[in-house]
Structure 1
Amino acid sequence: MHLNLAYLTAEALLAGQPQRWAHSQRVLQQAQRLAPMLGSDGDLVIVSAILHDIGYAEPAVDTGQHMIDGARYLARLGTDAAICSLVAYHSSSAWEAEELGLADALADFRPPPPPLLDAITFCDLTSAPDGSLVEAGPRLDEVLQRYGPDHVVHRAVSAARPTLLAMAERIERRLTHFPDQPMNGSASARNP
């Protein structure tokens, strides 16, 4: 799927969820900044970034786990399997799928290469719900506060937290070798 089509798809699906759309645009912006260090996989992460939360949109909802639902929706559209994989596995998906008894549904998608999963997870964890930049630790704290301790997302993020922070740290270390890619929000996401 080309970025233009991905952007329009996400925009249409998330039109009724302005905060989630703002978040998705920031995730896209973060992916655009990471692209130079991802080489030929940069475009894959960029397209996956704008689509990563479409599983929250009513037409995509199936299992109730937005990562799997988004990936399934994209697969029905004939989207490249690598994009579906990144959407399916981003952030705490594996832990959440386990909590929900959806590990088999997640396994319908091939796990993405770790460096690409690190990248999309970093982009998600450094993008606040309102589209502002945030560090990974405070972002995870915000998620835990939003969902009470008995909620599946709270349990999954609590279990995943050390791994998620390690993923973000790996990307931050790689960014030190790409000094021309500031993560300070100076550029803005744009409609491609």
Structure 2
Amino acid sequence: MERLSAAWAAQVARTELAGVLPRRWAHSQGVAAHAAELRSVLGTDAELLVAAATLHDVGYATRLAATGFHPLDGARFLRDEHSADERLVRLVANHSFALLEAEERGLREVLESEFPLLEQQVLVDALVYCDMTTTPDGERTTAQERIAEILSRYADGSLVGRFIRRAAPEIFASVERVQALVAAQPR
């Protein structure tokens, strides 16, 4: 099975997340379903987005958590154990402004050197949009509600609290860009 297809991504994510982190698996399925709805906007890159959406949180799996930073752990897993498509790996590594969180963790240089940010802004934005408008249970939400939900789980001064506050304006901008693309599509 091709290491870029949505079917392959679902198989890998299910194997790593469904049994040990069922809520994370539900979120990943919701993000993937959201991504599938962007097929008309992304054309030939739609399959890549769905695969990245499905796998974006695979690094949370306990057996993969080498650094404790899920974008880096997930990308390394996909690269090293699956020889996955480079663009897919880079999207997983950099999803939802992971560079900002990597900086908070002292891992920015590592992330940037191993997995440079993909230059296709529409794909980067689309993955942010899908992730940040999906609840932990896989339901739809707004980016504002999602940020508030994340902040409700983390103290203001915590690493994730600091990161999400820094990333919020960028997240909102990505979501707005994708919403504009969707709105411009002929019906």
Give the TM bin, normalised by the shorter chain. Answer: over 0.9
Q: Structure 2: which amino acid aligns with 1:50? A: T
**Corresponding residue of 1:36:** 40
**Corresponding residue of 1:12:** 15
* 3-state secondary structure, aligned to 1:176: helix
The answer as to 2:155 corresponding to 1:148 is: yes
**Corresponding residue of 2:134:** 127
**Runs of 4+ with deviation above 3 angstroms:** none
Is the 8 Å Cα contact of residues 102 and 111 (structure 2) preserved in structure 1?
A: yes
Q: Which has the higher contact order (CA 8 A, sep 6+)?
A: 1
Question: Structure 1 residues 25, 179: closer, same or farther in 2, change over 3 A?
Answer: farther
**Corresponding residue of 1:48:** 52
Percent same amino acid at aligned positions? 39
Q: Following the alignment from structure 1 to structure 2, what is the Cα–Cα distance between the partners of residues 78 and 59? A: 18
Quick check: 33-42 or 47-56, which moved more? 33-42
Number of residue pairs matched by the alignment = 180
Question: Structure 1 residues 148, 38: closer, same or farther in 2, change over 3 A?
Answer: same
Q: Structure 2: which amino acid aligns with 1:140? A: I
Q: Following the alignment from structure 1 to structure 2, what is the Cα–Cα distance between the partners of residues 143 and 179? A: 34
Deviations 1:20-54 (Å, cap 9, x if unpaired)? Answer: 11100010001100121011111111111100000
1:1-192 to 2 correspondences below 5 Å: 1=3, 2-15=5-18, 16-76=20-80, 77-107=82-112, 108-112=114-118, 113-178=120-185, 180=187
Deviation of 1:3 after TM superposition, in Å, equals 1.9
Q: Following the alignment from structure 1 to structure 2, what is the Cα–Cα distance between the partners of residues 3 and 37? A: 17
> Structure 2: 5+ residue runs without aligned partners?
none
Deviation of 1:103 after TM superposition, in Å, equals 0.7
> Structure 1: 5+ residue runs without aligned partners?
181-192
Is the 8 Å Cα contact of residues 39 and 46 (structure 2) preserved in structure 1?
A: yes
Quick check: 125-134 or 107-116, which moved more? 107-116
**Corresponding residue of 1:188:** none
Quick check: 171-180 or 18-27, which moved more? 171-180
Instruction: Say which structure is richer in helix.
Output: 2
